[in-house]
Structure 1
């Protein structure tokens, strides 16, 4: 069933197309003669179109058919209010509240009359259009609803496109030199493990689906500036049953790692962690505290000592958690004060199955027997 002309006009009024609604309604006056909804709709359309005389005329016609209707009463009340006839307006607002005690428009209009009911203020409100807040409500504009829905759909489409496009863009962006060099080939991903390898030849057993994950984790950590964490992941591969070509790429990636400083080192590992699985931390840098003993210097200029890890009596650390050899390529200058605790920045090395530290930096307090902060 199609929409009637009256319904079409009402829809246009909701869309704030008042002139179009008036044209339609006026064209079918003879058909809708004596129809309450017709006169009410035409009165509202004229009211919003700023033709209050015509609005009042149609409201009166509607009132002859039906009296108790809040839309009609609000329309008639605001006509009286526009003319400064506040007493008559109050009568109609009270009728509205008899029908709908919670009607916010009637209550607001009555409060306005109580506070600002002089004719001068009313004229200013009519001129500015503020008086329209007391007009019969039209409800939400369907055009706004439609536009919001369209905007939502458009946003959804854009987001969907971006979700598809961005990964595609990322996937298809030109590979950097690093990505190009350190990406596993299709063959390496398909066959990441060595075949015919004895279990005695590796200490870390990786499953087929683990190799690429470990390798990519190393790349991720390297990109974040966490060389130590990347080194640990690559050590898993270097000491595993991974394919030789993947091990070669892992070894080449380690050559990109840089020596840190005391302040820049990330992912420091404790003596106990390293001691439990030295191969996993080989070539990682660590910062370990303790007391140096048994120093020596060789003819080639190298210097070494034994470090009693975590043994610092002045800090109430009176027992060592382990002992490790420390070797410096050249004797430190200034020399290590053997009477004070020391903090070494060093690289973990393993030689003939023995764990030792290759020294890179030394920190000692100028005064006192504690280390404090470096």
Structure 2
């Protein structure tokens, strides 16, 4: 991590310990590209969102922190978020996993005791309103877990707590929502007046209503596993007058998108669609057929021009430079089908970073 980045996290940590949670969010969210693999970054953001009532943001940031490194303090935060969402069975599993990691964690044990005595999950809201929830949250600042101890006593304790858990599984199942990781990022909790930048020039000038509609559309696409359409809409947000916090949240969603292959590719874009607005389709995936031309083989990559649409030997729709960072046997004039990520630096140039390729057989061409 660069020294300036480390200083930024140190500053954010000071703000967090001073309970300046809104300032932590404002300071850190625009810096997401600097801290993609930083547990501390996502932990501070997630806990700050939790303390300010942004439970959607808290869920996504804390989940991302735990994807990077499993630590008790983030698990305590995530447990509170799950409780607030009335996902009691998932909260229970989270606290049990925490006890496996740190079987003397007093806050996790207290949370399990509360759950054991809980008659109605709706009572959890009162824990947040009267601030009792703080008793099962890590205090602001560095949380030091107790030494990890494993033994029959801990196993017996977990067994007793499970037997004593009073909330019926049928009731919990009716409220359980298995969301795709990252889906909470598209839930906008801020007021419509706080979604836009008021100055500057942008490729797409959106109204607050349009920003909300795009995020709704992104959520629908994302939960339907239509990741390519998600990428296009995220590009629209990135090039719009949406404010930096909205753009940072949209950028985070990219980490959850899946690279397609020939077995699951869907929602591709044609050459004419991409060529008409390259920036809108940057980093989206296409599945194009054509022929290989100007083949160049380097020690660490293969480059060629794809004559799009010319696999039949009749019409060239366009010519796009392709780069492959894996080995494959190719010759000039081979008819191929390729899946690749569009790279568009501006409106004038398109390149393709290939991820899958196959040679089209003569039988397919006949």
Could you state the TM-score of these two structures normalised by the residue count of structure 1?
A: 0.47
- TM score, norm. by length of structure 2: 0.48
Q: Which has the larger radius of gyration?
A: 1
